[in-house]
Structure 1
């Protein structure tokens, strides 16, 4: 496993827009996220997708939630349609999910467009998918998933993530203070670009949206590299939002300040700019 994903690694994945690009060539992200109980997750995921540089973002879900999405991001297209990557499950509860929504997600999993399964749709992660698959559990979700799949877990966290990745034939991003991204063939990285201030509600929804964008844009890149890049950008955005990436009075890193998930999403364009500007 590579020790750590870096800015240069991101630079090799993130495309720069050119004169011939349009909103479709710059990546179309579709999201089926949020719910009556957690409507903010839809707003945060959409904001994360836009902030990471999507050419077009479409959202599908409850009309009342959709109105909140449009209030924050009026550029968003509401309704089903073509997408280069799908993000599903953020801000949803599997016990409240309708049969129609389950069928819609299973249809995506049976297709050929990459799918990011997050939060309330992790229970639909099975080995029989045909779509390129990414799952994004935090530690508790990861352990529950491993238990459901009857996979033994050992002391080595990286080996545990690889075991799940191989069983599901999926890229696994296990969130935490050190984020691990592993693909079934054994390639993977740790991502340490973030800050402890990211431990706040909603940042995972922003991350899911950003992952969708980088996957949609980086079509020629390995899926796991796109996921690692999105995780790095998310961590960098957290540092920018909190201020702990700036030098302190004595040249030491600042301790930073509390942040919100929306502040992280708003900082994503600046994280992308850092990648494109620092290596040119």
Structure 2
């Protein structure tokens, strides 16, 4: 049984900029997400990161997703430069990825900064040089562990803890109750999302939210990589509360979820 993590806990892990901050000190998150086949994942991840609060989002990908990202968010930066956290793999199939995007992915995985490892990047977890945060659903975690999906669903907490220990990573196992396991055996549990959240694209948004939180807490993570677990739990809380606001008991779109993130941040900070 894990430790329950909720809105009061999450409020402590939201970075608030001060008058001396600029776009670099507020956190720069890099994203290598989406692909020619799944370009929407790139748009959603950038949208979620910017709505969570960062000084800059750098996006690197193929031509089509890059164009779509810039059409939706012209403030996204596509030039090379330093980042404080990466989001890699959302909307990517490792067996069907163009050479440019694969090269960006490999450079990001080799950068020793905290990295959110999603979807198509999960097979490359052992290449990640920085603090590792895996964000699989049950089927993806089953493949990572070499098990059947039914085994992960039967023992989600134990499966997340096993993967955390095996890969020296924080593992955020998505679900109606999300489990966040750390390599030391700690387990946090978050139950904040309505069932309507089970829709395409919400995982891409969660990865973007988490990437933003890692970037805005770069100094804390450098001093204590163990901060990645409560930051992952905070991302889950923000994501779930934004889904509640977007749907209000009904279906909602992923961009609608992203649009509610600033209000959720405001309410958590207000207590």
1:231-270 equivalences under 5 Å are 231-243=236-248, 256-270=249-263
Q: Which has the higher helix share?
A: 2
- Equivalence for 1:202: 201
Which residue matches 2:94?
94
Who is 1:228 aligned against?
A: 233
State how many pairs are aligned: 262
Q: Does 1:68 align with 2:73?
A: no
TM superposition outliers: structure 1 runs of 4+ over 6 Å: none
Q: Distance in 2 between matches of 1:51 and 1:110?
A: 27
Pick which of 91-100 and 136-145 moved more. 91-100
Report deviation, 1:238.
0.3
Is contact 1:146-1:153 (8 Å) kept? Answer: no
Residue in 2 that maps onto 1:108: 108
Question: What does 1:1-280 correspond to in 2, within 5 Å?
Answer: 2-98=2-98, 101-126=101-126, 129-147=128-146, 155-219=154-218, 220=220, 222-243=227-248, 256-278=249-271
Residue aligned with 2:44, SS: helix
Matches of 1:99 and 1:81 in 2, distance apart? 20
Q: Deviations over 1:48-90 (max 9, x none)?
A: 1001111111100112221111111111111321111000111
| Structure 2 unmatched runs, 5+ | 222-226
SS in 2 for 1:226: helix
Shift of 1:5: 0.9
Which range moves more in the overlay, 41-50 or 215-224? Answer: 215-224
